[in-house]
Amino acid sequence: MRFLQVSDVHLGSRIGLSWLTPAQCEEMIRCVKDTFRRAMLLAKERQVDAVLIPGDLFDDESVRPEDVSWVVSCIREISPIPVFIAPGNHDPYWPGSPYHPLWIARYPQVAWPANAHIFTAPSFQTIRSEDGAFSVTALAHTHAGEIREPLLSTRIDCGSDPVRILMVHGSREAPGVRSKDKTLPFTDDDIVRQSVSWVAAGHYHSAQTFTDSRGNPAGGYSGCPQGRGLDECGPKGALVVEVTPSGAAVEFCEIASRSFWKVGVDVTGKGLPEIMGALEAAAEAIPGGDLLYVQLSGRLGREVSLELQPGFMADRTYAFHCDSSLVAPDYDIEGLLAPQEAEGLPGRYVRRILEMKNAASDEERAGVDEALYLGLNAIYGKAPDAH
Ligand SMILES: [Mn+2]
């Protein structure tokens, strides 16, 4: 059996990033919609037995009816492939939600197709496939608040079909995994306890897979399929999960229309041509048509101007921004030690600080260096973001 797993689309998100133009923000909102359709088309292309959506398909209940219609039409387009939706903490099932009969009554143009199976109960329920080959068990978040109870700490009844899928919109707690908006927490032991074929998890926006005690894939997050900002950088997509009697195999499929990338460049000791070379190399390393944000850091030579040509990188990226707010100016320390500088304030300051540095212990030296630059910044009236 083959499944496509996609979650955390957050359709209807507002995207307002200060480093993008309003038109680029609009385009990224469009990309979120496009990507959902790409996910559905991938499901059709890969001839999956079902699509699994473990939560946060919509960003919140203010989603526009036309956006819900879009989702509905994309799901109808892949009929009869069943699409299982478990509402998450962003799109909980309650009267304000686009899954609810009261909402649908207000917007009769939105009719969920027969192949959409939406979980609506706050406790785990199981839906069996028509042919009895597999079942999907899930619950619906019914409010935007967190679910504190570790509901997976006891074994959930997932029926006895040969292939059993459990969908959960919650926070995996494991060493090195940072939990945002912790809700419905579970551990890897909780996953193993369920004894199901695959746990389709949503809520985290980065793809990750977790394994059972023998190292076999037991479940995973697809992450969000389309990044919406710098906290959602890199390749984004969906999972194609193949379940066989010997276990599950997972494939991450990139489907994002445009990806965000954030790259750091240290300008210390570099001239403008070298800095531009580093920016070009950063753009070279990512697919054309993506969004690149470069964070410059380090000390910039006083003679170097960071003026980039208007439209620089416009042919290689969809959006490009070079952030120099962390760049500090560099100083000609040798020059300030020259005899002709000996009487001036900067010269006297540098000489005195370097005397202190020579007398300092190894641990103190970094602090003395910092004092050197802070003092020179003050003398020259330079803030770190003066460039
Ligand atoms: Mn969530």
Q: How far apart are CA 330 and CA 135, in angstroms?
A: 64
Q: Angle at CA 38, nearest 5°, toward 250 and 60?
A: 95
* pLDDT at residue 29 greater than cutoff 90: yes
**What is the Å distance from ligand 1's center to 31 Cα?**
20
Residue 383: the pLDDT is 58
> Residues 14-24: pLDDT tens digits?
999 999 999 99
Residue 382's pLDDT band, with cuts at 50, 70 and 90, is low
- Range scoring the smallest mean pLDDT among 43-57, 81-95, 145-159: 145-159
**What is the Å distance from ligand 1's center to 227 Cα?**
14
**What pTM does this model have?**
0.88
- Interhelix angle 345-359/362-380, rounded to 10 degrees, is 170
**What is the Å distance from ligand 1's center to 216 Cα?**
26
- The more confidently predicted of residues 383 and 104 is 104
Chain position carrying tokens 């039409």: 73
Report CA-CA distances (Å) from 260 to 14, 178, 293.
16, 21, 8
**What is the Å distance from ligand 1's center to 205 Cα?**
9
**Domains of the chain: residue spans and CATH:** 2-254 (3.60.21.10), 259-329 (3.30.160), 331-387 (no CATH)
Q: How far apart are CA 19 and CA 319, in angstroms?
A: 9
- What's CA 330's distance to the chain center, in Å? 35
Q: Maximum CA pair distance of the chain?
A: 91
Q: How far apart are CA 266 and CA 384, in angstroms?
A: 14
**What is the Å distance from ligand 1's center to 224 Cα?**
10
**What is the Å distance from ligand 1's center to 368 Cα?**
46
**What is the Å distance from ligand 1's center to 60 Cα?**
10
Q: What percent of the chain has pLDDT over 70?
A: 98
Q: Is 269 left (phi over 0), alpha (psi -120 to 50) or beta?
A: left
Report CA-CA distances (Å) from 160 to 122, 134, 136.
22, 9, 11
Amino acid at 320: F
**What is the Å distance from ligand 1's center to 54 Cα?**
9
**What is the Å distance from ligand 1's center to 191 Cα?**
19
**What is the Å distance from ligand 1's center to 200 Cα?**
13
> Residues 169-228: pLDDT tens digits?
999 998 887 777 899 999 999 999 998 999 999 999 999 999 988 889 999 999 999 999
Residue 250: the pLDDT is 97
Chain position carrying tokens 């003092």: 375
**What is the Å distance from ligand 1's center to 288 Cα?**
30
Q: What is the secondary structure of 107-158 as a DSSP string?
A: -TT----TTEEE---SS-EEEE-TTSSEEEEE----SSS---S-GGGS----
**What is the Å distance from ligand 1's center to 172 Cα?**
12
H/E/C letters for each residue in 161-181? CCEEEEEEECCECCCCCCCCC
Q: Angle at CA 283, nearest 5°, toward 265 and 33?
A: 115
